[in-house]
Amino acid sequence: MGQGLFVAIEGIDGAGTSTQAELLANELRREGRPVHLTREPSDGPIGSMIRQVLRGRLVAAGSSGRPLGWETMALLFAADRMDHLKSEIEPNLGDGIDVVTDRYYHSSIVYQAETSGEPATWSWIRTLNQRARAPNLTVILDVQEKVAQKRRAARRSAVEIFEEPELQARMAAFYRRLPELLAGEPFAVVDGNRGIDAVHELIVGAVQSARLRQGT
Ligand SMILES: Nc1ncnc2c1ncn2[C@@H]1O[C@H](COP(=O)(O)OP(=O)(O)O)[C@@H](O)[C@H]1O
Ligand SMILES: [Mg+2]
């Protein structure tokens, strides 16, 4: 049995990564393929801790309320990623199950590099993640920050620490540069400003091409 197909869905907050990851997983299942839908931060021990940090709910005693620095966040995300890979992603792919992940190391590169205040640090973050395998396809949902902001407002879930419009706009621009920075990795940049179904169709097309390349 061959390996499953590994697809990552990426973009800024409100780009629609969760919506589209779920729709893609459902579509592949409809085609009769076994699929594991997952997300980062993962649901493992380190990922659960990161989610608390992102919601401002985890501040250690003795830290005088100081938030965790971007380097610490980058290391936590990288640690969660290795755990996610070893415990969830690789076992599923090895069993011939497709894996669709809502975010992957591209989020680390974009978010931690932009919150560091020195975007050149992206290459350090890439190094931290060097042992994490590249997806067979990474879909970047390219959205205007104004569009994403409206969606975030409508979603009404807990606001996370990175959800500032100016930061999100810089991250959207960074996502557009990723295919050039990570040349050689398979990317599909999709117009995420369009409606949910139109975006889904574009993603399905990109995944079909990736499957042809992969022979799965
Ligand atoms: N293409 C789209 N057009 C309109 N609304 C969308 C679209 N994609 C997602 N949404 C809505 O926007 C909100 C945020 O989507 P979500 O998938 O949670 O974004 P993300 O996971 O990227 O932060 C949700 O309420 C979702 O239903
Ligand atoms: Mg989401």
Domain of residue 153, CATH code:
3.40.50.300
**Contacts of residue 143, Cβ cutoff 8 Å, sequence gap at least 6:** 11, 12, 14, 15, 16, 172, 192, 193
Q: 70 in helix, strand or coil?
A: helix
Report the atom number in ligand 1 closest to the C-alpha of 15: 22
> What is residue 143's predicted lDDT score, i.e. its pLDDT?
98
- Residue located nearest, by CA, to atom 13 of ligand 1: 151
Ligand 1 atom closest to 196 (CA) = 1
For residue 181, the enclosing domain spans: 6-214
Q: What is the pTM of this model?
A: 0.96
| pLDDT for residue 58 | 75
- Residue 9 Cβ inside 6 Å of ligand 1? The answer reads no
In a domain, 205, yes or no: yes
| CA–CA dist 57, 44 (Å, integer) | 17
Strand-pair category, 98-102 with 137-142: unpaired
Split into its structural domains, the chain has a count of 1
pLDDT of residue 62: 64
What pLDDT, on a 0 to 100 scale, did the predictor assign at position 60?
65
Q: Does residue 1 sit within a domain?
A: no
Query: Is the separation of the CB atoms in 93 and 99 below 8 Å?
Result: yes
- Is the pLDDT reported for residue 20 higher than 80? yes
